[in-house]
C-alpha cells in the first residue's frame, strides 16, 4: 500500500495520472506496481490466478464473483515463497529503474494475470488492435488494455522521461522529498530499513 501511495502521488504531481489527458488511470499505475513486484528475482507478490485457479480463471466474470465466499486452499502447483526482504525505498528505486531502463514497451505487455511480461503481439490478438497503444497493460479479467487512454506518442515519450528523471533523483539522492513535494507524512526512514512491512519507511529525507 505505501509503495502504491507514493507512486500515485508522484504521478499526480507530474501530471501523468489523468486519463482525460492521455496519461495513466490510477488502476493502470496500480497494475504497473503489482507487475513489478511479481517479476523480481524474489517476487513480492504472486498471481491470484496461479494461487486460486478455481476462483480466478478466464471463464469467470469478475462482476459475479462472491467476495464473501472463502477462497479455496492455495493450489498445490503454486511454488510461491514470499522471501523478498527489500526495503520500501529499494523497491521504489527499482520500480523506476524497471520502467525507465528495463521494460521494453515496443515488444512487451504487462500481465499480472500470468505474473510476468508477455509478448505484445500475443495480447493484441485478444482485443481489437486499435485498443492497444504505446503501452500495453492487460486487465487481468477482461484481457483489455487498461492503458488505452495513452495514445499520443509525444505524451508517452514524456511519461518515459519522467520515469527516467525519477530514477535519477532517487538513485543519486535517496531523498524522497526531492521526488515528492511536500512530504506525504512526517519523515521516519527511507532506504536503510529492511522490512518493507514498515509503512513509514519511505519518508526519511536523507540516508
pLDDT digits over 167-189, tens only? 999 999 999 999 998 755 544 44
Residue 138: strand pairing partners:
111, 145
What is the model's pLDDT at position 125? 72
Q: Are 108 and 119 in contact (CB under 8 A)?
A: yes
What is the model's pLDDT at position 83? 79
C-alpha cell at 166: 525519477
Which residue ranges in the chain fall short of pLDDT 70?
Answer: 49-80, 126-131, 183-207
What is the model's pLDDT at position 200? 44
The model's pTM: 0.78
Q: C-alpha angle 3/105/107, rounded to 5°?
A: 130
The domain spans of the chain are: 2-75+83-203
Residue 145: strand pairing partners:
138
CA distances from 154 to 71, 146, 202 (A): 44, 19, 32
Q: Rounded CA gap, 115 and 148, in Å?
A: 20
What is the model's pLDDT at position 62? 55
Sheet holding 116-119, edge to edge: 116-119, 108-111, 137-138
What is the model's pLDDT at position 191? 45
Residue 68 CB burial class (10 angstroms; 0-12, 13-18, ≥19): exposed
C-alpha cell at 42: 524474489
Domain 2-75+83-203 coded CATH 3.40.50.150: no
87-106 in b/e form (b: 16+ CB < 10 A) is bbbbbbbbbbbbbbeebebe
What is the model's pLDDT at position 1? 79
Amino acid at each position: 500500500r505505501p509503495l502504491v501511495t507514493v507512486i500515485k502521488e508522484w504521478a499526480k504531481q507530474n501530471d501523468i495520472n489523468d486519463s482525460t489527458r492521455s496519461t495513466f488511470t490510477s488502476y493502470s499505475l496500480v497494475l504497473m506496481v503489482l507487475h513489478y513486484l511479481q517479476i523480481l528475482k524474489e517476487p513480492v507478490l504472486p498471481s491470484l490466478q496461479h494461487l486460486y485457479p478455481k476462483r480466478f480463471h478466464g471463464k469467470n466474470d469478475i462482476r459475479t464473483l462472491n467476495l464473501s465466499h472463502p477462497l479455496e486452499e492455495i493450489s498445490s502447483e503454486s511454488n510461491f515463497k514470499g522471501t523478498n526482504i527489500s526495503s520500501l525505498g529499494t523497491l521504489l528505486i527499482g520500480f523506476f529503474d524497471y520502467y525507465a531502463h528495463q521494460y521494453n514497451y515496443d515488444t512487451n505487455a504487462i500481465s499480472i494475470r500470468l505474473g510476468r511480461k508477455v509478448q505484445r503481439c500475443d495480447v493484441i490478438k485478444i482485443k481489437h488492435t486499435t485498443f492497444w497503444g504505446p503501452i500495453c497493460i492487460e486487465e487481468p479479467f477482461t484481457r483489455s488494455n487498461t492503458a488505452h487512454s495513452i495514445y499520443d506518442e509525444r505524451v508517452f515519450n514524456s511519461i518515459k522521461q519522467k520515469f527516467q528523471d525519477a530514477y535519477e533523483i532517487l538513485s543519486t539522492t535517496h531523498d524522497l522529498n526531492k521526488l515528492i513535494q511536500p512530504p506525504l507524512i512526517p519523515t521516519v526512514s527511507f532506504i536503510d530499513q529492511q522490512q518493507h512491512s514498515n509503512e513509514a519507511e519511505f519518508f526519511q529525507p536523507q540516508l
